[in-house]
C-alpha cells in the first residue's frame, strides 16, 4: 500500500520562524529509529491529493511559456476521538529542533487561527512500512489561502512558477530632476538592458551640468555601449567624461549614463547590458539564473541543459516596461527549439532544452498489456501541417523607422528601418508537393542577438517544425513517482508505432489524479 507524505512549510508569525508539519494519507506513517528524522509521525489527515498539473508549452512552438492547472489539496479537520491526533510533531526549520505541538479537537484548526501562514507543500510517496529513505518526491508547490469547510480544509495548490509573474524591474524614477528624471518620468519604471541589446532607445533625462544626458541602465552598471545612431546616422563612442562634438557620445559604464552635446530627434544605441554582481550575463541560462537568484525567486538554478550550447540573447526593457520574469524567461528559452524552464521537484529552477525521445535512456516502461497504463490518448487539436520553410528572426529593432537620414550608410539605413534580421531555410520541395497550400512558412521570432546563432539553431527548428512531435496523454497507474519534465519513458501499446515499445519524452504531468495515478503529457 502506498502512502503519500505531505510536508507543509509554515511561517509561524509569533516566533518569525518556519515550521514543518508532517501529514499523510491513510493510514499515516511513522519513521523508525534508524530513519532521518527518527520517530516522527505523519498524521493521517490528508483526504485527497491536489488535482493539479504542470507542463512546458514550447514543444513545436516558440514561446517557452509554462501551462499550469491549479487544484486543491484536501485535509481532514473533523473532531478527532483519537488521542494520538491531539499532538503533532513539528520541526522548526530555522533551528532544526523538533517540537511537540498540542492540537485542538479539530486537529488542523491551527492553520486557521492566523498564527501560521502556509508557504509551501512537498509531497512524497512511500510504501507503507518502508524506510523513509525510500520515499520519492512527487512535487513541490506553493499554497494559497486555506478554504475551511465543515470537516475539511482545502488548500489551493499552484506551481511555484506563478511566483515568477512579477515585474523584473521594480525601481522607478522619482521625477525630481537630474538623474532621477524630469517630472513627467515620476513613478515610471526605469529602463533595464538584459544581455546584448542590438538596438535600444535610451531614456532622455534632460540637460544636466550643461550636457544632454540619457540613461540606458536604470542607474546600474552596464558592460558597454559600443555604438549609437541618430536617425540612422552613426554616432561614435568617445572616451572621457563628455563628448567633443555632436558626432560623438560618451558613456559612464558604472551608471549607464550616456552624454551628448545635442538632443537627437531619434537616438538609439547598442547596449551590452546589466552587470549582475559585477558580471555581464548574456546567454540564456546564465541570464535567467542571474535574474532569478538576484531577486530571491530561486536559490538554485540548473542551466547546464541550456548553456551547454550557449546562445547570446538580448531584451531591452524601456522605461515603463513591466515585463515579468515569467514572460522574459519565455522569450529567452523560446528562442531555441524545445527550450523550456520549470521548477524541479527539489525546488530548483531548471532551464533546459527538452530532449528528443531517442536522446536519453528511459527511466521507466509502461505497457497496456501489462496493466501499468490504460493506453495512450492522442491529444486533439495540437498538430499543424509540417512547415515547408522556417524563418528565424533575430537582432530585434523594437521601433524601426520608415526611413533613415540621407547621409546614413547603406548598412545603417537598412538596420534602422528593418525590425528583424531574418535567417531563412531552404524550401522543402517534398513537403510543398505533398501538402500543397496547407504547408506554411513558419516564422520564429527570437531574442537571439546574432544571425550566426540563429543560423546555428535553424536546422533544429527545421527538424522540429517540418516533422512536428505527436503529443499524447499517458495514464500512469503507479502515479509516476520520480518522473518529471524532460524524462524519457518507454510505452508499449496497441497503436501504430508502439506495438514493440517506443520512447516518448515527458513535457508535463498531473501532480496526482483523483484515481491515485497520474497522467503524463508525452511527445513522440
Specify whether the CB–CB gap between 164 and 301 falls below 8 A: no
Question: What does the buried/exposed string (b/e) look like for 315-338 if buried means 16 or more CB atoms within 10 Å of the residue's CB?
Answer: bbbbbebebebbbbbbbbbbbbbb
What residues have CB less than 8 Å from 414, skipping those under 6 apart? none
CA distances from 375 to 99, 156, 368, 371, 477 (A): 47, 30, 5, 9, 10
- 400: pLDDT strictly greater than 90: yes
Cell of residue 280, nine digits:
555581464
Give tens-digit pLDDT for 497-514: 999 999 999 988 887 655
So what's the pLDDT on residue 518? 87
For the segment 385-393, the average pLDDT, to the nearest whole number, is 94
- 61: pLDDT strictly greater than 70: no
So what's the pLDDT on residue 319? 97
So what's the pLDDT on residue 513? 58
Q: How confident is the model at residue 158 (pLDDT cuts 50, 70, 90)?
A: confident
Q: How confident is the model at residue 249 (pLDDT cuts 50, 70, 90)?
A: very high
| Three-state helix/strand/coil letters over 71-126 | EEEEEECCCCCCHHHCEEEEEECCCCCEEEEECCCCCCHHHCCCCEEEEEEEEEEE
Of residues 224 and 383, more confidently modeled: 224
Give tens-digit pLDDT for 264-277: 989 999 999 999 99
Specify whether the CB–CB gap between 201 and 267 falls below 8 A: yes
Answer whether CATH 3.90.1150.200 is correct for domain 355-382+469-523. Answer: no
So what's the pLDDT on residue 342? 86
So what's the pLDDT on residue 517? 82
For the segment 486-495, the average pLDDT, to the nearest whole number, is 95
Indicate the burial class of 129 (C-beta count within 10 angstroms; 0-12, 13-18, 19 or more). exposed
For the segment 368-394, the average pLDDT, to the nearest whole number, is 89
DSSP-derived secondary structure letter, 415: H
Give tens-digit pLDDT for 429-449: 999 999 999 999 999 999 999
Give tens-digit pLDDT for 98-122: 999 888 888 999 999 889 999 989 8
Give tens-digit pLDDT for 315-343: 999 999 999 999 999 999 999 999 989 88
- 49: pLDDT strictly greater than 60: yes
So what's the pLDDT on residue 515? 62
Q: How confident is the model at residue 384 (pLDDT cuts 50, 70, 90)?
A: confident
Domain ranges of the chain: 2-158, 355-382+469-523
Q: Tell me how far apart the alpha carbons of residues 319 and 509 are, in angstroms, rounded to a whole number.
A: 38
Kind of pairing, strands 339-343 and 314-317?
Answer: unpaired
For the segment 151-157, the average pLDDT, to the nearest whole number, is 90
- 382: pLDDT strictly greater than 80: no
So what's the pLDDT on residue 381? 58
Q: How many CB atoms lie within 10 A of CB 361?
A: 8
Amino acid at each position: 500500500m502506498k502512502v503519500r507524505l505531505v510536508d507543509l512549510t509554515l511561517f509561524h508569525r509569533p516566533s518569525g520562524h518556519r515550521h514543518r508539519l508532517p501529514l499523510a494519507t491513510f493510514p499515516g506513517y511513522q519513521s523508525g529509529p534508524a530513519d532521518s528524522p527518527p520517530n516522527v509521525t505523519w498524521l493521517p489527515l490528508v483526504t485527497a491529493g491536489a488535482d493539479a498539473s504542470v507542463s512546458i508549452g514550447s514543444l513545436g512552438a516558440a514561446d517557452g511559456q509554462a501551462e499550469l492547472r491549479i487544484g486543491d489539496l484536501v485535509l481532514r479537520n473533523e473532531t478527532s476521538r483519537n488521542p494520538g491526533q491531539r499532538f503533532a510533531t513539528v520541526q522548526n526549520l530555522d533551528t532544526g529542533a523538533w517540537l511537540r505541538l498540542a492540537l485542538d479537537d479539530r486537529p488542523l484548526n491551527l492553520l486557521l487561527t492566523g498564527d501560521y501562514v502556509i508557504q509551501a507543500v512537498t509531497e512524497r510517496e512511500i510504501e507503507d512500512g518502508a524506510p523513509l529513505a525510500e520515499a520519492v518526491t512527487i512535487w513541490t508547490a506553493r499554497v494559497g489561502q486555506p478554504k475551511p469547510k465543515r470537516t475539511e480544509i482545502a488548500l489551493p495548490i499552484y506551481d511555484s512558477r506563478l511566483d515568477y509573474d512579477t515585474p523584473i524591474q521594480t525601481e522607478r524614477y522619482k521625477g525630481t530632476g537630474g538623474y532621477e528624471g524630469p517630472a513627467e518620468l515620476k513613478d515610471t519604471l526605469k529602463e533595464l538592458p538584459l544581455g546584448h541589446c542590438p538596438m535600444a532607445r535610451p531614456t532622455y533625462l534632460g540637460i544636466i551640468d550643461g550636457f544632454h544626458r540619457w540613461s540606458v541602465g536604470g542607474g546600474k552598471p552596464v558592460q558597454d555601449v559600443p555604438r549609437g545612431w541618430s536617425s540612422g546616422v552613426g554616432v561614435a563612442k568617445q572616451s572621457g567624461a563628455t563628448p567633443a562634438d555632436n558626432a560623438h557620445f560618451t558613456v559612464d559604464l558604472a551608471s549607464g549614463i550616456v552624454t551628448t552635446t545635442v538632443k537627437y530627434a531619434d537616438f538609439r544605441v547598442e547596449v551590452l547590458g546589466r552587470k549582475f554582481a559585477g558580471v555581464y550575463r548574456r546567454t540564456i541560462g546564465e541570464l535567467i539564473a542571474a535574474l532569478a537568484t538576484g531577486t530571491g525567486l530561486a536559490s538554485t538554478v540548473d542551466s547546464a541543459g541550456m548553456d551547454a550550447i550557449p546562445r547570446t540573447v538580448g531584451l531591452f526593457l524601456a522605461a515603463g516596461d513591466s515585463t515579468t520574469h515569467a514572460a522574459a524567461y519565455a522569450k529567452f528559452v523560446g528562442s531555441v527549439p524545445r527550450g523550456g524552464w520549470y521548477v524541479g521537484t527539489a525546488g530548483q529552477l531548471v532551464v533546459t532544452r527538452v530532449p528528443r525521445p531517442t536522446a536519453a535512456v528511459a527511466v521507466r516502461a509502461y505497457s497496456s498489456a501489462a496493466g501499468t497504463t490504460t493506453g495512450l490518448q492522442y491529444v486533439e487539436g495540437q498538430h499543424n501541417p509540417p512547415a515547408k520553410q522556417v524563418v528565424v528572426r533575430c537582432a530585434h529593432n523594437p521601433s524601426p523607422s520608415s526611413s533613415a537620414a540621407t547621409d546614413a550608410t547603406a548598412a545603417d539605413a537598412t538596420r534602422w528601418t528593418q525590425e528583424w534580421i531574418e535567417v531563412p531555410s531552404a524550401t522543402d520541395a517534398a513537403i510543398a508537393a505533398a501538402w500543397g497550400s496547407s504547408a506554411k512558412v513558419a516564422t520564429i521570432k527570437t531574442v537571439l542577438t546574432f544571425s550566426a546563432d540563429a543560423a546555428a539553431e535553424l536546422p533544429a527548428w527545421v527538424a522540429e517544425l517540418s516533422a512536428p512531435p505527436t503529443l499524447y496523454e499517458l495514464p500512469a497507474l503507479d502515479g509516476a513517482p520520480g518522473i518529471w519534465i524532460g524524462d524519457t519513458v518507454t510505452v508499449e501499446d496497441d497503436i501504430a508505432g508502439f506495438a514493440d515499445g517506443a520512447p516518448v519524452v515527458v513535457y508535463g504531468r498531473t501532480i496526482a489524479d483523483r484515481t491515485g495515478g497520474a497522467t503524463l503529457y508525452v511527445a513522440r
